[in-house]
Structure 1
Amino acid sequence: MQRMRDIVGLPVIETETGKQISQIEDIVLNIDEAKIYGIITNSAKDLSSEQGISFMNILSLGRDAVMVRNHSVIQEATAFFEMTAIYYIKELFEKEIVTEEGLRLGILVDVFFDTSTGEMKSYQISDSIISDLLYGRKKMPIPKIQVIGKDKVIVPGTMKTLLYTEI
């Protein structure tokens, strides 16, 4: 599993030429399916339209680079917005996670995912800087049902029992 924060900023490299064609600016998520839908790149010729790569066109998401066959996989990002539950990862970071009962679980700081399938596996949550240093950050499996608001993510009350600290 890999953290999404580690992907943002990586170079996008063509396997046909070995040339860097872009860099990752953001990640587009389909929250309903808990999957990466695509990535936003900085390859726009004119800055009026965002450019991106669909996840199915990514050959591999490595630790140091994202590999694609060639530059033809880059398309206008508007193609990503055909679905309703689409979010940029940068929009989700720093949102407060609260249960339906009103219990604050912490702040969303990262998302772990499977690099081969793009499936989101868990949220990484910070309770506070002191708690992070003393006990480590908590992880929570991705809830099947969630509401993403302007500054909060609302999750089922049962999620509080599924929080764990990875050792």
Structure 2
Amino acid sequence: MKKSSQIVGLPIISIESGSEIGHVKSLVVNASDKSIDFLTVDHPDWDVSVKAVPFRKVIGVGEYAVMIEEEKSIFDLSEIPIANELVKKKISIIGTKIINRKGQFHGEVSEYYLDDNTGRIVGLQFKTNETEQFLSTEHVITLGKDLLIVAEEAIDHIVKQPEELFETEKPYTSENYSTLPKEEIVPETPKENAPPSEEDGNGFKEKQITILEGKKLLKDIYTPSGELMFEEGSVLTRDEIEKAQETGVGVVVEMSMHVSG
């Protein structure tokens, strides 16, 4: 587990060439999955375009550097429509105010922790009455641009040390969040002030479909379990993209990085 601030600024090193190929500029948040999906890369020769490395391409995150297999793991954002969309959402987490579904204020996020093996955001650090406290993202309903909505019972699960986050959180599965009652997912706030909700997630999926539909795959796409899902040369249809979305964000990202047309 690492703080976001421990990753930003780290050198990115290619294992293949043994050379430094940039620094971590920022962490790209996937609010729907409560994860870091990409690291943007800072390099003095790349001022014209923004480049990023998918977190799943990261071999390891150490105290000294972020390790990737090869420089080809870094892509221009224009080649990764999904990453570009996530960047445009500008979800930073730090500085976001924490409120529960009933509108009670708990504090402002000063830092967050992530699993440096998977990119999953595991906990939040915030201050209440000048005391630093921590909360597992298990209790987070919505990660918005300005507001972070938590369940009413979240106050009962606040801990005093980040190490306690591991003791309070449940093993993460995609089902844990998707099976919450609908009223626990969509905060009851006025529409004009409401943070991104389930409807926004559907809108994001529609954007993915718009971007990818009709494009030709440049390589075979496999499921996380290794089964062939789509063959190279396939022209993506709406049904196929929806199937990929249901399978997982990693599949959609892989498709986005290997399409043309």
One of 141, 144, 148 as aligned partner of 2:144? 148
Give the C-alpha shift of residue 48 in structure 1.
Answer: 3.6
Where does structure 1 differ by over 4 angstroms across 4 or more consecutive aligned residues? 82-89
Q: Aligned partners of 2:28, 2:61: CA distance in 1, in Å? A: 14
* Paired residue secondary structure (2:98): strand
Write 1 or 2 for the structure with the bigger share of helix: 2
Give the C-alpha shift of residue 111 in structure 1.
Answer: 1.2
Partner of 1:108: 109
Partner of 1:59: 59
* Paired residue secondary structure (2:23): strand
* Paired residue secondary structure (2:141): coil
> Deviations 1:92-112 (Å, cap 9, x if unpaired)?
211111112121111111111
Write 1 or 2 for the structure with the bigger share of strand: 1
Report the RMSD for the aligned CA atoms in angstroms.
2.3
Q: Aligned partners of 2:56, 2:71: CA distance in 1, in Å? A: 14
Partner of 2:160: 165
> Deviations 1:74-116 (Å, cap 9, x if unpaired)?
1022416369766556x22111111121211111111111111
Identity %: 20
* Paired residue secondary structure (2:56): helix
Q: Aligned partners of 2:51, 2:10: CA distance in 1, in Å? A: 15
8 A Cα contact 1:44 1:50, kept in partner:
no
* Residues 45-84 of structure 1: pairs in structure 2 closer than 5 A: 45-78=45-78, 79=80, 81=82
Name stretches of at least 5 consecutive residues in structure 1 with no aligned partner: none
8 A Cα contact 1:25 1:41, kept in partner:
yes
Q: Aligned partners of 1:159, 1:109: CA distance in 2, in Å? A: 17
TM-score by length of 2: 0.55
Q: Which has the larger radius of gyration?
A: 2
* Paired residue secondary structure (1:145): strand
Partner of 2:127: 126
By relative contact order (CA 8 Å, sep 6+), the higher-ranking structure is 1
8 A Cα contact 1:7 1:24, kept in partner:
yes
1:3 maps to a residue whose letter is K
Q: Aligned partners of 1:83, 1:41: CA distance in 2, in Å? A: 13
Change (3 A) 1:47 1:70: same
* Residues 83-102 of structure 1: pairs in structure 2 closer than 5 A: 91-102=92-103
Confirm whether residue 10 of structure 1 aligns to residue 10 of structure 2. Answer: yes
Q: Aligned partners of 1:119, 1:17: CA distance in 2, in Å? A: 28
Change (3 A) 1:125 1:73: same
Change (3 A) 1:10 1:52: same
Change (3 A) 1:52 1:83: closer
Aligned length in residues: 159
8 A Cα contact 1:105 1:127, kept in partner:
yes
Partner of 2:118: 117
Give the C-alpha shift of residue 152 in structure 1.
Answer: 2.1
Q: Aligned partners of 2:46, 2:135: CA distance in 1, in Å? A: 40
